[in-house]
Amino acid sequence: MTDPHLEDPEYDRHGGFPNFQPATPGPGFGRFLSAMRRAQDLAVSADPDSETWDRAADLVEELVGLLGPTEAAEGVGPANRVPSLPGAGSLLMPPYHVTKFDSDGVELTVQFSRYHVGGNYAVHGGVLPLMFDSTFGMVIHATGRPISRTGFLHVDYRKITPIDVPLTVRGWVREAEGRKAFVNAELRDADENLLAEANGLMIRLLPGQP
């Protein structure tokens, strides 16, 4: 990864983005994420009796009461700042791990679960643009381009995306032109079958742009 300041001396003034640094919240945060991911799966698949739902609601409300007073600003809490954890510690993202991160692009492994199902045990079509958009951001960072936002994102669905199996996401800059970076990404299974592919435009922010 090259230093984006070399291309854009105004890099730090763009958009007011927090200067994200890796977080070390301790092992309890990893345990919390694992339990929450399982809770998400169960929230869309469990079918207990009314008494159990009431008890579950009590426990969740207790958790909200425990964590509520500690709510922090963006870039302060550990979510999305722990690279060693699935999804970098963000419950918003499917649990991915980065396996390649350099000027040629990025590669991730990801495994979707019951929480991501849209129907018939296939990953919801709306989840894949989220994964691709995040991949585009990683590509911009890995290739040393300045802070950018998505101009457009187009997804083609080639095959059903399954849950509970490891998949691979790859992303790279296809072409760069001034403030514009045209980015491609693809999702493949273990047999290299193309499940979905995306192309998009990432536009470098001007000073002060949010």
Percent of the chain with pLDDT over 70: 91
SS (H, E, C) 77-107: CCCCCCCCCHHHHCCCCCCEEEEEEECCEEE
As given in the structure block, the two tokens for residue 172 are 């790279």
d(CA 37, CA 20): 23
The domain that contains 38 carries what CATH number? 3.10.129.10
When pLDDT is cut at 50, 70 and 90, the band that residue 10 belongs to is low
Cβ atoms of 158 and 128 closer than 8 Å: no
Q: Is 40 within a domain?
A: yes
The DSSP letter of residue 159 is S
Q: What is the pLDDT of residues 37-87, one digit of tens each?
A: 999 999 999 999 999 999 999 999 999 999 999 999 888 999 999 999 999
Count of CB atoms within 10 A of residue 149's CB? 16
- Can you give the pLDDT at residue 185? 98
Count of CB atoms within 10 A of residue 171's CB? 28
Cβ atoms of 98 and 107 closer than 8 Å: yes
- Can you give the pLDDT at residue 2? 59
Q: What is the pLDDT of residues 186-200, one digit of tens each?
A: 999 999 999 999 999
Q: Is 161 within a domain?
A: yes
- Can you give the pLDDT at residue 132? 98
- Can you give the pLDDT at residue 192? 98
Mean pLDDT rounded to a whole number for the chain: 92
The DSSP letter of residue 54 is H
- Can you give the pLDDT at residue 18? 60
Q: Is 177 within a domain?
A: yes
The mean pLDDT value for 120-149 works out to 95
d(CA 65, CA 34): 20
- Can you give the pLDDT at residue 98? 97
The DSSP letter of residue 38 is H
- Can you give the pLDDT at residue 13? 59
d(CA 194, CA 210): 35
d(CA 196, CA 128): 8
Task: Find tokens 């990864």 and name the residue.
Answer: 1
Q: Is 52 within a domain?
A: yes
What are residue 184's DSSP bridge partners?
172, 199
Is residue 203's pLDDT more than 60?
A: yes
The mean pLDDT value for 112-140 works out to 97
Q: Is 61 within a domain?
A: yes
- Can you give the pLDDT at residue 82? 95
Q: How many domains does the chain have?
A: 1
Q: Is 210 within a domain?
A: no
Is residue 27's pLDDT more than 90?
A: yes
d(CA 56, CA 156): 39
Task: Find tokens 């991949």 and name the residue.
Answer: 135
d(CA 187, CA 94): 13
Q: What is the pLDDT of residues 12-23, one digit of tens each?
A: 655 556 667 889
Least reliable range by pLDDT among 17-26, 106-115, 148-157, 189-198:
17-26
Tell me the residue range of the domain where 139 lies. 4-204
Q: Is 84 within a domain?
A: yes
Q: Is 123 within a domain?
A: yes
